[in-house]
Amino acid sequence: MGSITRGISNNILGNGAVDGTDALSGTIPATNIANATLDNLTAFPPSVSAGIPQVASDPPAPSEGDIWYNTTTYKLKVRGLAAGTWASGTNMPTNINGGVGGGTQNAALVSGGYSSPPGSMNTATFEYDGSTWTAGGTIATSSTERGYTGLQTAALAWANSGTSTATEEYDGTSWASGGALNTGRAGSAGAGIQTAALALGGFPSPNATEEYDGSTWTTVTSMSNGKYFIGGAGSQTAALGFGGTIAGNPAVFSTTEEYDGATWTSGGALNTARSAAQGTGIQTAALAIGGYNGPTASALAATEEYNGNSWTTVESLSTARTTAMAGKGSPNTASIIYGGINGSTYLTSTEEWTKTEGNLEVTLT
């Protein structure tokens, strides 16, 4: 609480009334005022309550951002998102590392990648409905380090660890060839949907950026600080690229860049520098999930949330993982990640992120 200005009447009129027109004034120092709380506050003064409804019970269906004072419980409340949490989903039928992902929490996709043992590339595709993984159509290119984006019924995968330019499209049943990239690359990130996708970063051209219209890739403005094994999220016209590494350099980075469909600009830095992280959500509400650190290349469980300006550390994964797959079409309130590797262990586990709306009590300090 700050200081309070006081007024003191300094004379009494002949009729007995107190005259305050020529009052003395002064300021009571803030150090002499005890902080108050909202406990047992029955009403706000008019100057404070402007715009804040006072109600005897919480509204039955408030919208996000609504604020009110409950005169029964003596609590100031706001409708907002509670802290997100990770929970276990159903394991994949087989362990997969570095495959193609896509979709949403209740309609996800995994294809290709590497399994061990027997230590071989996959061509199998599995689809997730929120509780069960079932077999889908076979992918033509069995490889790791592919870029990907899209939905379970409209997924897109491109390039591979051999810096191929090949692109494949999935329609929910089968994979088919799409238009070739202009610049072959490994370890690029993806954003957008099958018919409006963005490929960013990768090796050997970490700044290269291309847009896909459903049939043709077009080279567009390069990133300023592109990386290999970069994380990506968002749409073709509002994308994020974050973290990553540079070929031949063990360091990992915390940099973030934002794309508006024409130019790249710097964004807020990750709290935990990382490479091979997965990204979900949109440019102003994204998640950076897992990946690996620089000194030992150990898998990370760290999760961060982006609000369009800065990253905030939130609840960690139950199992640290790198080069996993994620539901690229997921919002940051209902995301999913699966597979990957932790040390020498190839993973089958799935984790689901949920962030729900609720009535949050506000504490004033």
pLDDT digits (tens, 9 = 90+) for 227-282: 999 999 999 999 999 999 998 888 999 999 999 999 999 999 999 999 999 999 99
Question: What is the reported pLDDT for 118?
Answer: 76
Question: What is the reported pLDDT for 358?
Answer: 66
Question: What is the reported pLDDT for 74?
Answer: 83
CB neighbour list of residue 187: distance below 8 Å, 6 or more residues apart = 145, 161, 201, 202, 203, 228, 229, 230, 276
pLDDT digits (tens, 9 = 90+) for 11-24: 555 555 555 555 44
- Smallest CA-to-CA distance from 233 within 273, 203, 267 is with 267
Domain spans in the chain, listed from the N-terminal domain onward: 1-35, 38-81, 87-355
Question: What is the reported pLDDT for 68?
Answer: 78
Weakly modelled stretches of the chain, pLDDT under 50? 1, 4, 8-9, 23-24, 38
Question: What is the reported pLDDT for 109?
Answer: 97
Q: Which two tokens stand for residue 93?
A: 């039928």
Question: What is the reported pLDDT for 271?
Answer: 98
At the fourth CATH level, the homologous superfamily of domain 87-355 is Kelch-type beta propeller (2.120.10.80)
CA angle 316–276–157, rounded 5-degree value = 115
- Burial, 343: exposed, middle or buried (Cβ in 10 Å; 0-12, 13-18, 19+)? exposed
CB neighbour list of residue 196: distance below 8 Å, 6 or more residues apart = 211, 212, 213, 214, 235, 236, 237
Question: What is the reported pLDDT for 348?
Answer: 98
Question: What is the reported pLDDT for 1?
Answer: 47
